[in-house]
Amino acid sequence: MPSTTEQYHKFCAANKISPRSLEVPLPDSDEVVAAHWIGDPDADIVVLYFHGGGYTQAGTEGYLRYWTRIVDELNSDVKSIAVLQLAYSLAPEARYPRQLQEAAAVLAHLITSGRGSSDIILAGDSAGGNLVLGLLSYVLHPHPGLNVLKIEGRLRGALLISPWVTFGQDHESFKRNYQTDIMAPRMLRRYAGMYLSRSADPEADPGRVQGGTYTEPLINEASWWNGLDGVVSCVLVWYGENEVFADAIAEFEAIFREGWRKGAAEVDHIVFVRSPGRAHIEPIMGYMLEPGTKGEHQIVIEEWFRAILSG
């Protein structure tokens, strides 16, 4: 499968777009991580985006087409917007915490390059949503194995589409929605095992994989999220009623809300949307499969963007 960077250059060539990328050095290392622009790098607002794929698969052309449409439609409004897609390293060759280190390095680069925190939105789907939550955790609680990540002021927002909040599969929605979703339980266990170094053989089923505070958000108590309102101004979490993650995300909502609510004046700035009849990452998958159509599950995300861009 072509890498995220190869997919990006192929997409740009096919659409006669000049590729524009960053190479950001990793702290205390000779290595770099790449990130690729969709839209004008000088836009008022940048969406730092982490693609899904179980930490094992590259960002595909479908993601690029989806975010190109978002950028094109939103740039007719109050503020200009661009997306910066992180080409994070993939498991099993690269394992946790490498992806978190790369995400933090690019966020820090944006801020030290002159962007204010309020000019940045974090976004991710599936494993990318897991990475957004890991990055927010990293800001709230310095990671023992990584450099401290400090942010002055609040990020403008965070968007999570069908986030992977637990590696466990005990929730009823795994049984109820197995036939209505694109996610297979064994596949997810393999991905988690590769990402967290729990399996020497990538093809083997490692069984239940146990994560930690930065990788498995659902295991954290509500107090873990206390103070998050001082890090990010608002959060939208979208998920589908018909996905295997549905019940886990619903459980996470209660914990996340309780943590956000403690001391937060703007309790309505955290929004969870559960769309009836929709499956995993369907706002993106729907556009990949039917680019000429747009449903309420897609419109709700665009309207959220418009609301926080006008603020």
Q: Which two tokens stand for residue 200?
A: 């020497």
49: which residues sit within 8 A by CB, 6+ positions away?
67, 83, 84, 85, 86, 123, 124, 128
Two tokens at 3? 């890498």
Structure tokens at 121: 């939105």
DSSP per residue, 10-77: HHHHHTT----EEEEEPTTSS-EEEEEEES-TT-SEEEEEE--STTTS---HHHHHHHHHHHHHHTTS
101-135 pLDDT, tens digit each: 999 999 999 999 999 999 999 999 999 999 999 99
Catalytic residue, candidates 29, 76, 118, 126: 126
> Per the omega criterion (within 30 degrees of 0), is the bond before 92 cis?
yes
pLDDT truncated to tens, each residue of the chain (311 aa)?
Answer: 899 999 999 999 999 999 999 999 999 889 999 999 999 999 999 999 999 999 999 999 999 999 999 999 999 767 899 999 999 999 999 999 999 999 999 999 999 999 999 999 999 999 999 999 999 999 999 999 898 888 999 999 999 999 999 999 999 999 999 888 989 999 999 999 999 998 778 788 999 999 999 999 999 999 999 999 999 999 999 999 999 999 999 999 999 999 998 866 577 899 999 999 999 999 999 888 888 788 899 999 999 999 999 87
Pairwise CA distance, residues 217 & 97, whole Å: 15
Q: pTM of the entire structure?
A: 0.97
Specify the fold of 4-310.
Rossmann fold (3.40.50)
Instruction: Please state, as a whole number, how many other Cβ atoms lie within 10 Å of the Cβ of residue 293.
Output: 9
Given a contact cutoff of 8 angstroms between Cβ atoms, the answer to whether 230 and 179 are in contact is: no
Q: If 0-12 CB within 10 Å is exposed, 13-18 middle and 19+ buried, where does residue 277 land?
A: exposed
DSSP string, 247-282: HHHHHHHHHHHHHHHTT-S-GGGEEEEEETT--TTH
126 tagged catalytic: yes
The percentage of residues in the chain with a pLDDT greater than 90, rounded to a whole number, is 84
3-state helix, strand, coil in the chain (%, to 5): 40, 15, 45
User: Could you tell me how far CA 121 lies from the centroid of its own chain?
Assistant: 11
Residue 76: HSE in the Cβ half-sphere, 13 Å Cα cutoff: 5
